[in-house]
Structure 1
Amino acid sequence: MAREPLLERLRRRVLLADGGTGTFIQGRAWDVERDFLGHENCSEILNRTRPDFVAGLHRAYLEAGADCIETNTFGANHVVLGEFGLAGETRALNREAAAIARAEADRLSTPDWPRYVLGSMGPGTRLPSLGQIDYDALEASYREQALGLVEGGVDALLLETHQDLLTVKAAINGARAARVELGREAVPILVSVTVEATGTLLVGSDIGAALVSIAAMGVDGIGLNCATGPAEMAEHVRFLCARWPGPVSVMPNAGLPILVEGETRYPLTPEELALWQGRFVEEDGVNLIGGCCGTTPEHIARLRAMLDARSDPAPRPRRVEPEPAVASLYTAVPLRQENAVFAIGERCNANGSKRFRELLAAEDWDGLVGIAREQEREGSHALDVCVAYVGRDEARDMAELVSRLRAQVTVPLVLDSTDPAVLETALKLLGGKSVINSINFEDGEDRPAEILRLARRFGAAVIALTIDEAGMAKSVEDKLRIAERLHAFAVDRHGLPEEDLFFDPLTFTICTGMEDDREHAVHTLEAIERLAERFPRCQILLGLSNVSFGLRPAARHVLNSVFLHHAQQRGMTAAIIHVSKIAPLHRIPEALREAAEDLIFNRWRDGADPLGRFIALFEEAQEEEQAQRAAPASVEERLRRRIVDGDRRGLEDDLEEALQRHDPVQIINEILLDGMREVGELFGAGRMQLPFVLQSAETMKAAVRYLEPRMPRVEGAQKGTLVLATVKGDVHDIGKNLVDIILTNNGYKVVNLGIKKPIQEIIEAAERHRADAVGMSGLLVKSTVIMKENLEEMRRRGLDIPVLLGGAALTRRYVEEDCRRAYTRPDRVHYAKDAFAGLRLMERICAERRAEG
């Protein structure tokens, strides 16, 4: 009987998978020698010794109402079976297991109710990101497992309970290889990861990193299973459904396990599981539900009843606009930064950094990692890594360095090499979504084709330079012509997603004095603008410092900074730069800025050469003297200026002087916060890059730390408790920490959770500390959306605790109109304009609570 393909049915109906296989097996008494052939805990051997039991297991879940059953092959890959001496049986055991499940599914299928078999492929026992197994061995192991499953007749391959994104890549590629070998490329690949109670996968990946990395591999479905119950999964389910357009699966445990009289129990009843899964279906738009550890046929029967009671069996439509991003093993980074370019640190490059080259020659790996970590601290969103050095083994050096960087920096890597073999070596070490730098047509199309195949295989973005067989494009027309060819080649022919293609239209030095070089910057800016219009979904990148080659460092820093601003205004989205050597426009003296712009745009004033005029401005001055403006006379203005400039030198002396005239609260509220307000305005206007915002924040923190011991502290009983956190996806904490200090010094208990906190953790802390209110902070515009989502989740949980919202991107109108509508008690959502407004709100909240008794 022909079945409707699984993916088509998932689009038309919410489907139900089975429950816990392990739970079912562990609930029986076994003769280890007879049933397991002495291989205790090797459940997969039951497919051969007790096919009757395995068939009964599948039948129980099918009779309970499951649309899909999973094969008893969770650990049946070559590596795991090898631990039992059964590696040689891998393909056969998987084929036998799939055949058992296939027979039971077919027996209960009808034309109106087809049943499906999912080939279970678990995470194994060794994690490649921790160096416990190499990539090639893992991919080969999963290939062999997938061969048996597909031969046995599965409808899809389900990679489940995965905890390491590099394992996921190996399993996907192994499964793909098996499909091709058997001519069954249409068999879908579904991936389900396990988020621990800590909020991350076992190796530390957050759900954003998992989604970006797995989606880049071109799978058919993504989901969650195991580790926790549905309550702990809720936030992650919502995240996936809001950002992944394909099918989403959710298979939680029957709650968090508890120990009862020495035995593990799962507390969630079938009715409670059905309530949660009903919410995931109706509110989030989940396509496939089921159960994991602790769930039984009774749980599945209740889920069947819940689904059958729906008036419309179809999944709830989801409007999803995926956000272009790359990812390290740990976290995702959007390619479109808010009021900033995607900054790629340039100093982990043997071609461009003398210090890096010297450390590489000395094989000082710790020193090389130190350079990477410096760039991360400076605010780089990703790191360009190039170890090509004459006389050295590039592939070996890349492997040595990347294996260290993947564990010691949290930002994604840009793999910079012209050798596909070197790129492949690096990609086999990285679980996240990397960027490959780069492809071009200088030697034809063979090498870029090979690199693009690697990008598709490992889920990487690609930088494409406007170079062809005739050389590097310098005119606007040539840059656009080659970009058109690159787009057709990478996107149309090789299937690279548009958002993963970075155009580098190239910039060349304008500092030679030769007439042919004077218009390079103008041509590049015009090309950027036209590329942004022609390919709005693609990224546009420059190796920025090329424009200033030949100048002294001080002049290069100014010219690079001004050129960056204009390139960003024209549509550039990314740049390879030295972040700490870029200055925001407001810090560059007007005369220098104008001279730099004259040089960039080749503007001659009164017949004077703009290059000569620009160079002359630097001949007598040191970089620092040119960059700094005259210090203001008043200490109040000096302090405000320090905050805006992120300048901590001499800060304590100025604070001491200010304390002679003002109390600490006045200094914070009337002087320092005024500086931070200007920082926010500059950031919002695009005149200050994010790294400089962070420098200002660090200066503000240092000032507040110095003033805190001098602030009056209210003694006596605590007035109330506030749980405070920066919301998920946001790392900015200056405002939050200031609220902490102000409230603590006024007699309140503040539970400061830190940055990037998911709502589950905030709720748990509020309940644990019996908080009077919750405070959520964030600087970015996207953080305001997350705040609203958090309020919606709190409403779903039936919470009505007062909530304070604060952050530079928030407005009173947004809080009082949009956010309030999302909450259980709209009157309990408050806009905290600053820390002192937060203090007044807490005073009012706690007074109202006392009045209520």
Structure 2
Amino acid sequence: AQGRIALLPLEHPEIVEALHAAYFEAGSGLVETASFSASTRDLGSEDLAYRVNLEAARAARRAEARICRPAGRKGLVAGSMGPGEAPPSLGASSYSELKASYLPQARGLADGGADLAIIETCQDPLQIKAAISALRSPRGGRGLPFIVSATVDERGRMLTGTGIEALVAILAPYKPLAIGLNCSGGPDELESALATLARVSPFPLCFMPNAGLPCTEGGCTTYPFGPEIFASKVSAMVKKFGIQIVGGCCGTAPGHIAALKKVLDAQRTWAADAAPRLPRRQAPKAKPALASLYEPVPIGPEFFSIGERANSAGSAAFAALVDAEDFEAMAQKALAQEGTGASAIDLHLSRPGRDEAEDLSRLASLLAPRAKAALSLDSSDPAALAKALPFVGGRAILNSASLEDAEKARAVFSLAAEFGAAVICLALDEKGPAKTSEDKVRICRNLYDMALGEFGLSPEDLFFDPLTFTVAAGADGAATIAAIAEVKKACPGSFAILGVGNISYGLPRKVRATTTSLFLQAAAAAGLDAAILDTGGIPKPSAIPPALRAAALTALGLPGGDTEAQDKLGPLLEYAAAQETSPAPAACTAGTAGTAGTAGAAGAAGAAGAAATLESTLAAALSRGDQKAAEKFALALLEAKGHEALMESVTTSMAESGRLWAEGAISLPLVLRSAEAARKALTPLAEMKAQTSKGKVVMATVKGDLHDIGKNIVAAILACSGWEVVDLGTDVSTDRILEAARHEGVAAVGLSGLLTRSLGEMKKTCAALNREGLDRLVLCGGAAVDPRYVVRELEPQHPGLVLSCKDAFEAARVLGAVGDRPKATEPLVSPPQVPESRSRKASASGSAIAIPGGPAYRLAETGAMEPQPLDFHALVGALNEKWLFSTLWAYRGEELSKAKDELLKLLGEIEPILRPALVYGHFPCRLVSEGRLLIGDPEKGLKSSVEMVFPREKDGLRRSISDYFHPVLDMMPIFAATVGREISDRALGLKESGNYEEYWKLHGLGSALAEAAARLAHERIEKEIRDAGGPAKTRRYSFGFPACPGTEYQRAVLDLLGAARIGLEVTSGHQLVPEHSITAFVVPRKDAAYFDA
């Protein structure tokens, strides 16, 4: 039945039309066609894809005619185009495959009457480019306008690691109707990403969140937000961010849209022309930029530098690498320019007797997922550019177009339009390079008109190069600089660029870099926006000796030199000759910096330095994904220290990659490249598998599910973390999984599923493992897996041995927690060795709390910290005045108007006697049994630590705070804060003297200040948790409150913290002294909640 849903427009058009009609009746002004999964790749046939999309658009069109037109309103039909399951930037497909898959879909939507298309739930910029190209193609959508809507993770990044700012830069040349966000999560989860989009996008905003985060019950996916809550949350964002197109994604029914429209109608203002309007968003001005796959690379206001060292025509060393087909070394040489300030990297690989298109595409495919800089694809052959561009997910620049061959220029501009690239345009025509200013302007203007008029490019897409000639041949540098302003005036809105190194071509090496530097300085002052240059080999003008400066400026014909000199080049050549017999100044030798050293693994080793350890050089190679260097250093480490040292080094490096990925510091493609290098590093251990393997892990996508990207990523990470992975593939039956799990040494079974129905297969497999007595840990992951479902439905089938893992690194951490056992071949049958699911305890109790495997965060230093005083002004700043005035002082009505003055007076009186202080620590802990946590002092070990009992709810969700902690190892922050004994003593004196009103106010203020101290403590701890990779938000709980351990634990907590150091003690009745003090613990989980138990 699931497989027929995509065919509904063909098989049951009446159902599809009725659904569209229901949304139009609810107030929708736009509906999406039932074609999200109806590309050729999805359906397996071009003809079927065309017919499904044709009928999908027609069904929506009929619903619009039946509902909207009689009511006198226009309804829009948007053709929905989904991302598919094969992101090309991750190597799962190619740009050309996706474009071909989208063409029949786009044609069907256009022929069926769609007003526009919406490319939604986008995960990869290359996939978006393929869909746009299909929509623009005469064989596809024939220019159908479109909206682009991305889906992002909790870091605000797409699956490929692309950030919001980069996405806007990549899409800006295509001029979409709107850019937006959909799916991913509910309104709350998407707010941060939406705020970023609103800040940077010059296009209208589109927002279609889910009805909250999905949960699974009885194999069915449900969403928590009903129509009213959804409408309230989304309408607030419409008002806050000025969203122009708003709706719902997963879990939103016509009722949600009706409720949202009702709230939005109430928010509208009425203009003088009686037209209802929502507040308009002040969109930011478009900022020109190129982009890597991950981040934008702004063009201006800072100078834009394009590194030239990856050029076979300008670097003999690089040309040798091309001839040797050492693409990894080429990539390393190119990437090295990022460290010298290159905003983009120019790639020129033309060599006699070689296939330039193949070479350029291979290098582009290596660099696109690794480079932080943008890519400049440099070739005079449009075919080479056409073969390389489909690998570049970011926004590239093409070098170059000229009128030497007008048809080639048209081919380059056509590629720029298709792939959203910028173009460098040369002042060159069939007669050769333009020499005069008039010719430079004429040629550039003709290229400008061609690009804008024939191909729809914008001025900011174009960089004009008036061409630089060497002063060694008598060229006038001043004339070249003068042409910059003239060309920019003739081509308004565009940029000026020069290959500045050409100015010094043919000069003695001693003076080349200096001459280039001074020319660049003058050109930038005259309006030059960008340059192609050796970013690491140009000295600063201020570092150039005066005599050399004067000689170079004379040669260039620039102010500061001898403008009357007959032989302008003479002084510079004389200076160079004089330097041949003496050491060259540092400023003058920098010109060769880009060519020094040996590329590849040897270069990496040299850069590491003689003092570097083998482990660190291997780690560096793994982090950059350098397979050749990783293999070299792994062999050296194996010979020097043995297989255990090699395995530990690789495992540690991959764990660091996981940490960086979780923090958003690196992208998934880079993680995968590191994993590939790690597998290469472990190749020497292949024959020693029995000695080096931590054990076997069986991986499978369950029966009925053909999706395998996530499983493959997990398999790659586990393999390079020391586990032997037995990958059964996709659509795997329970019987096959059982057969594989029976083998000796299998430690765990990984089950993957993207479809909701896959959960039923997972449940069947878990039950079968338990029935067969196979005590294997089961890790469940994939888009369909809801941790709460794992707790309620899966874990009881195989008690204590089922966990949900949100990603590959969490799976590696969970397995790592159980991998430290005497023999890797021993199956995991002993409960202490197994990271029991949080839900094992919950299965008996019915708790709905589920947490991922492994600790919430990790710190190098744990235990109690040194006591710290708290600043008085910070304490006052954290004071909750509303709580103080209304609750503690119980002021009402007119009394509240004088409360602030009384507070300030009291604060002034007690400031000298306050002694606010804090002591806190991060303590290892673990769940040892039902509701019991063991919290440890790392100096003494867990065995001599505090055991606390946490109560459980008797009804409802049956939760316990202990459910938030992991049974193998976790972290619990605990603190004690006080404002000192003196304020209590003064309040007691007021009471004993009969001054009850003043006593009441001072006592209340003491309590409010203690709470403020606790708030400061929590904020400090929360920051440290975030810095250590933990969640951004946590919950604070105090002893004796509902769901918390009783106050009888106060003494043990004070001992654990060493709280006597800040004057804290506890009475025989478990009360804190001084009175205005607070102890609390923090639950470092983002979904922690307050409840009674």
Structure 1 contact 718–749 (Cα < 8 Å) conserved:
no
Partner AA of 1:616 in structure 2: E
Q: Secondary structure at the match of 1:349?
A: coil
2:542 to 560, 569, 586: 586
1:461 aligns with 2:422: yes
1:295 to 252, 257, 261: 252
Distance 2:3 2:469 in 1: 64
Structure 1 contact 532–572 (Cα < 8 Å) conserved:
no
Matched with 1:570 is: 526
Matched with 2:289 is: 325
Residue 297 to residue 507, structure 1, CA distance change in 2 (3 Å) = same
2:42 to 77, 80, 84: 80
Q: Secondary structure at the match of 1:267?
A: coil
1:43 aligns with 2:5: yes
Shift of 1:459: 1.1
Structure 1 contact 474–523 (Cα < 8 Å) conserved:
no
1:414 aligns with 2:376: yes
1:616 aligns with 2:580: no
Matched with 2:364 is: 402
Distance 1:423 1:623 in 2: 41
1:366 to 324, 328, 343: 328
Distance 1:747 1:272 in 2: 41
Structure 1 contact 157–190 (Cα < 8 Å) conserved:
yes
Matched with 2:150 is: 193
Shift of 1:628: 10
Shift of 1:242: 4.3
Matched with 1:307 is: 264
1:554 aligns with 2:518: no
Distance 1:747 1:548 in 2: 65
Partner AA of 1:224 in structure 2: L
Matched with 1:717 is: 867
Shift of 1:60: 2.8
Structure 1 contact 43–72 (Cα < 8 Å) conserved:
no
Matched with 2:127 is: 167
Q: Secondary structure at the match of 1:408?
A: coil
Residue 372 to residue 747, structure 1, CA distance change in 2 (3 Å) = farther
Q: CA RMSD in A?
A: 3.4
Partner AA of 1:325 in structure 2: A
Shifted more, 496-505 versus 211-220: the winner is 211-220
Shift of 1:437: 0.6
Residue 474 to residue 265, structure 1, CA distance change in 2 (3 Å) = same
Q: Secondary structure at the match of 1:579?
A: coil
User: Identity rate of aligned residues, in percent?
Assistant: 38
1:483 aligns with 2:474: no
1:133 aligns with 2:283: no
Structure 2 contact 311–347 (Cα < 8 Å) conserved:
yes
Residue 299 to residue 626, structure 1, CA distance change in 2 (3 Å) = closer
Partner AA of 1:120 in structure 2: S
Structure 1 residues 382-416: Cα deviation after superposition (integer angstroms, max 9, x where no partner): 11111111100111112211111112212211111
Distance 2:158 2:870 in 1: 35
1:498 aligns with 2:459: yes
Shift of 1:371: 0.8
Q: Which runs of 5+ in 1 are unaligned?
A: 1-31, 33-39, 630-648, 650-713, 723-745, 751-767, 772-798, 804-849
Residue 628 to residue 144, structure 1, CA distance change in 2 (3 Å) = closer
Structure 1 residues 18-63: Cα deviation after superposition (integer angstroms, max 9, x where no partner): xxxxxxxxxxxxxx3xxxxxxx345212333433433333233222
Q: Which runs of 5+ in 2 are unaligned?
A: 271-275, 591-608, 610-863, 875-917, 923-971, 976-1015, 1021-1074, 1079-1093
Structure 2 contact 437–483 (Cα < 8 Å) conserved:
yes
Shift of 1:342: 0.7
1:347 aligns with 2:309: yes
Shifted more, 523-532 versus 617-626: the winner is 617-626
Residue 76 to residue 364, structure 1, CA distance change in 2 (3 Å) = same
Matched with 1:732 is: none
Shifted more, 406-415 versus 572-581: the winner is 406-415
Shift of 1:186: 5.9
Shift of 1:238: 3.7
Shift of 1:770: 12
- TM-score (norm. length: structure 2): 0.52
Structure 1 contact 369–408 (Cα < 8 Å) conserved:
no
Matched with 2:238 is: 281
Matched ranges for 1:800-815 at <5 A: none
Matched with 1:833 is: none
Larger Cα Rg: Structure 1 or Structure 2? 2
Distance 1:258 1:462 in 2: 48
Structure 1 residues 419-468: Cα deviation after superposition (integer angstroms, max 9, x where no partner): 1111111122222221111111123x222122111211221111111112
Residue 606 to residue 193, structure 1, CA distance change in 2 (3 Å) = closer
1:121 aligns with 2:81: yes
Matched with 2:113 is: 153
Matched ranges for 1:419-438 at <5 A: 419-438=381-400
Structure 1 contact 242–318 (Cα < 8 Å) conserved:
no
Matched with 1:104 is: 63
Shifted more, 226-235 versus 158-167: the winner is 226-235
Shifted more, 230-239 versus 556-565: the winner is 230-239
Distance 2:340 2:152 in 1: 30
Structure 2 contact 103–135 (Cα < 8 Å) conserved:
yes
Structure 1 contact 228–255 (Cα < 8 Å) conserved:
yes
Q: Secondary structure at the match of 2:471?
A: coil
Distance 1:770 1:590 in 2: 64
Q: Secondary structure at the match of 2:531?
A: strand
Residue 770 to residue 104, structure 1, CA distance change in 2 (3 Å) = farther
Distance 2:865 2:550 in 1: 56
Distance 2:119 2:307 in 1: 35
Structure 1 residues 514-572: Cα deviation after superposition (integer angstroms, max 9, x where no partner): xxx152x1111111133344445211101110011112333111111111111111110
Distance 1:431 1:158 in 2: 20
Structure 2 contact 38–81 (Cα < 8 Å) conserved:
yes
Residue 593 to residue 604, structure 1, CA distance change in 2 (3 Å) = closer
Count of aligned pairs: 606
Q: Secondary structure at the match of 2:284?
A: coil
Residue 439 to residue 44, structure 1, CA distance change in 2 (3 Å) = same
Q: Secondary structure at the match of 1:344?
A: strand
Distance 2:74 2:566 in 1: 81
Partner AA of 2:211 in structure 1: A
Residue 213 to residue 851, structure 1, CA distance change in 2 (3 Å) = farther
Structure 1 residues 465-494: Cα deviation after superposition (integer angstroms, max 9, x where no partner): 111232212232322232222222222343
Structure 1 contact 241–318 (Cα < 8 Å) conserved:
no
Structure 1 residues 705-730: Cα deviation after superposition (integer angstroms, max 9, x where no partner): xxxxxxxxx971356799xxxxxxxx
Matched ranges for 1:215-294 at <5 A: 215-258=172-215, 264-294=221-251
Q: Secondary structure at the match of 1:360?
A: helix
Partner AA of 2:235 in structure 1: G
Partner AA of 2:407 in structure 1: D
Q: Secondary structure at the match of 2:31?
A: strand
Structure 1 contact 562–597 (Cα < 8 Å) conserved:
yes
Shifted more, 548-557 versus 356-365: the winner is 548-557
Partner AA of 2:80 in structure 1: S
Work out which structure has the larger RCO, using CA pairs closer than 8 Å and 6 or more positions apart in sequence: 1
Matched with 2:495 is: 539
Shifted more, 585-594 versus 617-626: the winner is 617-626
Distance 1:102 1:64 in 2: 16
Structure 1 residues 193-226: Cα deviation after superposition (integer angstroms, max 9, x where no partner): 1122221110111112211212212333322111
Shift of 1:77: 0.5
Residue 117 to residue 239, structure 1, CA distance change in 2 (3 Å) = same
Structure 2 contact 445–491 (Cα < 8 Å) conserved:
no
